Copies of this chain bind each other. A is one copy, B any other.
């Protein structure tokens, strides 16, 4: 199978989405000139061009794209060629209203925006396949083509009748018999037993709470249907261009796709990333997505979209202060990115995203944005050859599973304050602030390469995953496990004792009497720290080697944390500083040290291959101790024992 290196060819790809069909052709020549000036070596074409490529059913217009592909090639700019299937032309919805998605209330999503397609529509899929086939046929041999970009941010759902039929097909495959489905869904509760497959519906509007297993399977189904849309297109382009890798761009930590399953089907894993410049945790959130994407890719990955400045989907959309677009792009490279791309090259004058910033913004080539883009382009060209393709190594794995996330998100739950993504973020933040590099892993992955495994929360956990965790600890691995893990099995059926019995034994828990969720602003006082969000009334079985008790309140004296051997259980979420301290100590016990000792708080350090990236997230100059001599690839300067970084400064130190 082809891979990202077939596209990068020893460089870091730099560029962005390009929508020249929105501009007169004379602008195209200014574009390529400015791209060269900025060091752009890659553009993504055609993401939303379906109505241009096929203005009427079956009528194709490729001439403009031919000219663009040639123009890009002539200027040495590679093309990431997209299938335009994320936004069908208006004629498709008009001629085939059943291709339009319906929400749980039966409301139709019309054209006039984007992503108005039902993943289950056979008509949509046929039209998508035809335009994909046509594109692949035409450009299979084009020398500009370096990567396929299928669709865009797959995220739609459908509760309509065709989706209902596909859902039944999917369930037949999963369960075989109605009896098995009734058992898995627990339909004995509230008289929901199905006597006929045709009775089964998507998780449509109900009077009161929905069946959680049905909702869970409908989420699985939705992810799988979207994936079928992807693989159908992938198989077409692969037939034409077996040597060109294929990707689709994920949204960051996106709820709707089973990211592990999807990544397996891609040649290149890519992601879009839009942290809020005002978010004090923006850099950490970015690092999380980068670590997750690298882990999905099991190596280098592509940052497919980011913004040079402001976006428009927030309530208040802040621009990036000077230096931040470069810093965050270098952060992505540090964490394994071999492509640094933006949405988009030239800011649109019309359409729904006309105030979304671009490499070449409304302010034009003189704008601060473009000046920073040029500087970044030069930096990436400088460090590219020694960086691209290099691995990032981590000794710690953080476990994450979309199915557990989905299972935990049902409307009837113990606390609406418990959000899988928030908890994942809180634990990753503690590790990131401790300068401990982490991978992510699925709970059934082979974990033996890691010195320490962290489970922020895995509400649902099947027996294989439990086996895996137990085996990991049995082999001497250090496991740190957060609350509400192993509560349910693969069908979201509560395990006896509300926590898997083997996990309880692993941590020294006899009985989990009650969950005590905490209110906003409420803390559970523990010996030495405060817990947040959640606490538990646990009766230990006396086998734990170490416990940290709650202090005061109803849980006074009961264990908040338990350690048995190298297995830790956290029944509350320690406040950020406490969690960082605890994990630093446990990691040290497992033989895992921070990337660099004595790092200032605002400086992030990551090793990629034999390079050491230093990234300064603050504005005041700071000096970092780096024992020994290194060459800073960005400046070419020799660095001895210490390096000073200015506002949002970075260094890429080679031995």
Q: Scan A415-448; emit 1 where CB is below 8 A from any B CB, else 0.
A: 1110000000000000000000000000000000
Find out whether the CB atom of B111 lies under 8 angstroms from the CB atom of A189. Answer: no
Query: Given that A22-B188, A207-B101 are contacting pairs, would A554 and B517 also be in contact in the complex, using a CB cutoff of 8 Å?
Result: no
Interface presence of A565 (CB below 8 A): no
Binds B, one of A197-205, A254-262, A466-474, A609-617: A197-205
Contacting residue for A193 out of B51, B194, B352, B414, CB 8 A: B51
A133 at the interface (CB under 8 A from B): no
Minimum CB–CB distance for A557 against chain B, Å? 13
Q: Which of A6-14, A81-89, A297-305, A384-392 contacts B (4 or more CB under 8 A)?
A: A81-89
> Does any Cβ of B come within 8 Å of A26's Cβ?
no
User: Which of A233-241, A329-337, A362-370, A374-382 sits within the interface?
Assistant: A362-370
Against B, the Cβ 8 Å flags (1 = close, 0 = not) of A25-39 are 000000000000000
Query: Is residue A655 contacting chain B, with contact meaning CB distance below 8 A?
Result: no
Bound complex: CA A354 to CA B487 (Å): 11
Tell yes or no: A106 within 8 A of B by CB: yes
Q: Report the Cα distance A512→B363, complex, angstroms.
A: 6
Which residues on B sit within 8 Å (CB–CB) of A310?
A: 414, 514-515
Q: Which residues of B contact A361 (CB under 8 A)?
A: 498
One of A219-227, A316-324, A576-584, A636-644 at the interface: A316-324
Question: Given A211-B112, A515-B319, A537-B319, A498 and B363 touching (CB < 8 A)?
Answer: yes
Can you tell how many copies of this chain the complex includes? 3
**A196 / chain B contacts, CB cutoff of 8 Å:** 56, 90-91, 94
Are A363 and B193 in touch, CB under 8 angstroms? no
A278 touches B519 (CB 8 A): yes
Give the interface segment out of A343-351, A393-401, A475-483: A343-351
With known contacts A208-B115, A492-B350, A516-B318, A413–B190 Cβ distance under 8 A: no
CB neighbors of B among A167-209 (8 A) = 185-196, 198-201, 203-209
Residues of B within 8 A of A242 (CB): none
Instruction: Point out the residue from B186, B192, B350, B352 that lies within 8 Å of A494, measured CB to CB.
Output: B350
Q: Which of chain B's residues has its CB closest to A56's CB? A: B195
Give the docked Cα–Cα distance between A21 and B319 (Å).
59
Whether a CB of chain B sits under 8 angstroms from the CB of A107 is yes
Q: Is A290 an interface residue (CB 8 A)?
A: no
Bound together, the chains give a CA A94 to CA B204 distance in angstroms of 13
Query: Which B residues are CB-close (under 8 A) to A351?
Result: 186, 188-190, 211-212
Contact at A493–B350, with CB atoms within 8 Å?
A: yes
Q: Are B107 and A189 in contact (CB under 8 A)?
A: no
Which of A93, A351, A414, A515 has its CB near the most chain B CB atoms (within 10 A)? A351
> When A111-B206, A494-B349, A515-B310 are in contact, do A87 and B192 touch as well, CB less than 8 Å?
yes
8 Å CB contact of A110 from B110, B201, B413:
B201
Residue A547 interfacial (CB < 8 Å): no
- Cβ 8 A contact of A55, one of B114, B195, B353: B195
Q: Looking at the assembled complex, report how far the CB atom of A542 sits from the nearest CB atom of chain B, in whole angstroms.
A: 14
Residue A543 CB within 8 A of the other chain: no
* B residues in contact with A105, CB < 8 Å: 107
A51–B363 CA distance with the chains assembled, in angstroms: 59
- 10 A-B Cβ contacts within 8 A? A22-B188, A51-B195, A52-B193, A188-B350, A188-B351, A190-B351, A318-B517, A321-B554, A353-B412, A355-B413
Tell me, in angstroms, the Cα distance from A384 to B193 when the chains sit together: 39
Which residues of chain A in 547-566 are interfacial with respect to chain B, using CB atoms and an 8 Å cutoff? 554
Complex Cα distance A408/B538, Å?
Answer: 48
- Interface residue? A231 (CB, 8 A): no
Please, what's the 1-or-0 string for A239-257, where 1 marks a CB less than 8 Å from any CB in chain B? 0000000000000000000
11 A-B pairs besides A51-B191, A112-B204, A186-B350 with CB distance below 8 A are: A22-B186, A89-B191, A112-B201, A114-B209, A186-B348, A186-B349, A316-B414, A316-B517, A355-B414, A363-B512, A368-B514
Partner of A113, one of B207, B350, B518: B207
A497 contacts B90, C-beta separation under 8 Å: no
Known: A52-B191, A84-B191, A190-B352. A206 touches B318 (CB 8 A): no
A286 touches B (CB below 8 Å) = no
